[in-house]
């Protein structure tokens, strides 16, 4: 049986860690693209896990990671572009450097990986790509102009590639999580505490109220949808889709 292989960016924490655990548990060979191998310590020994040095903010690093995958992995079954960064700031306090940094990590890195890795999928006649976007890919939020721009662009990339590759056996989809219980949520809680003087508990509750379910999304819930899109035969005809995982927030 051919080994199923997936490359996952930002695999060492948050949603990326949950995605990695899901694929390892299903017997996949996982190429974990992270800055530091130490971020994978908690995942070692759980399956066929391989570290690939990766800095999403550096085009040279992204291209080097793609070369490593092309050389050592060959044909990937799936690619999950999960690595991302956020920024909360009014327009007037959003520097050009910050804006470009978010585009580099959230859009350019996925674009480069797709450009470099998808030809092998096309040649083999099969492949799955999932881009981890955000509810910020579907609507605007205050004080997130750079972040919303990057996630809207990632969703646009998803749709364009889906149409381009639909007849070549490669599907390209996006998942759009809402507030998810990760360090990114904790950073937002910390910012709210700093800005309002509320307690951590009250600040977290304020953010969770945005979700009609009254709670944050679990990383494992996002991972399950990603795995479905990459692994299930039932997802073979799904491409260009955006799976919103937000407990009804954007409804």
Cβ atoms of residues 78 and 129 within 8 Å: yes
Q: In a 10 Å sphere around its CB, with 0-12 CB exposed, 13-18 middle and 19+ buried, how is residue 251 labelled?
A: exposed
Cβ atoms of residues 116 and 159 within 8 Å: no
23 vs 4, 47, 224, CA distance in Å?
10, 9, 9
In the residue annotation, 147 being an active-site residue is answered as yes
> Closest Cα to residue 238, out of 246, 247, 229?
229
Q: Which entry of 147, 170, 181, 244 is annotated as an active-site residue?
A: 147
| Pairing label, strands 29-34, 78-81 | unpaired
The DSSP 8-state label assigned to residue 247 in this structure reads: T
73 CB contacts (<8 Å, ≥6 apart)?
5, 7, 29, 31
The DSSP 8-state label assigned to residue 58 in this structure reads: -
* Residue position matching structure tokens 């490359």: 7
**Catalytic positions, written as ranges:** 147
């Amino acid at each position: 049986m051919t080994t199923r292989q997936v490359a996952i960016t930002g695999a060492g924490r948050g949603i990326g860690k949950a995605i990695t655990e899901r694929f390892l548990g299903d017997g996949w060979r996982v190429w974990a693209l992270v800055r530091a191998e130490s971020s994978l310590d908690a995942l070692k020994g759980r399956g066929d896990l391989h570290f690939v040095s990766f800095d999403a903010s550096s085009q040279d690093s992204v291209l080097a990671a793609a070369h490593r995958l092309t050389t050592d992995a060959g044909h990937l079954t799936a690619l999950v572009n999960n690595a991302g960064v956020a920024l909360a700031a009014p327009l007037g306090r959003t520097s050009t450097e910050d804006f470009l940094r978010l585009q580099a990590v959230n859009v350019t890195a996925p674009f480069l990986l797709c450009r470099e890795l998808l030809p092998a999928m096309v040649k083999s006649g099969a492949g799955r790509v999932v881009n981890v976007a955000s509810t910020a890919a579907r609507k605007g939020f205050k004080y997130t102009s750079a972040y919303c721009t990057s996630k809207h662009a990632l969703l646009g990339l998803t749709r364009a590639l889906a149409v381009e590759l639909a007849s070549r056996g490669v599907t390209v989809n996006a998942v759009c999580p809402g507030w998810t219980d990760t360090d990114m949520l904790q950073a937002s809680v910390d910012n709210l505490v700093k800005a309002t003087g509320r307690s951590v508990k009250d600040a977290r509750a304020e953010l969770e109220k945005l979700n009609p379910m009254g709670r944050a999304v679990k990383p494992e819930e996002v991972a399950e949808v990603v795995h479905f899109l990459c692994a299930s035969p039932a997802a073979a005809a799904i491409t260009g889709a955006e799976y919103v995982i937000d407990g009804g927030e954007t409804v």
